[in-house]
Amino acid sequence: MSEFFRTAAENHIFPFLFIGGVLLVFVLAFVPKPAPRPPPPPGMAVIHSLPPDPAHMQVLVSLVLLAAGLYVILSKQYDAQDKHWAYGTVGTLVGFWLRPHRAKSKAKAGKKPENSN
């Protein structure tokens, strides 16, 4: 099994597998949801589940991208040309999570954001 990983690393397959996995997640996000279940018979216990929070998906995708980017940056097997996308990915994630969220919350409340021109 280690021969497979060594050959895959030499052929730079891991970034393509990662990109394919991310694309698969995005494609699966647009798959239609199944029809709702019929209501349970009277007298049976009902367990309510909460809808998934979009913030959980943002954190999950950010962690996966950050792990892949840091792996490429910190590993010795990639040269400088291969690391460009990793630096860009990590920089984009840092910018995404450090952006101010106030304008978004004020827009929801019906107020005009302070920094809009």
* pTM for this model (two decimals): 0.46
38-79 pLDDT, tens digit per residue, is 777 777 766 666 666 777 788 888 999 999 998 988 888 888
Residues 7-34 have pLDDT tens digits of 656 667 777 777 878 877 777 777 777 7
R_g of the chain, CA atoms, integer Å: 21
Helix (H) or strand (E) holding 17: helix 14-29
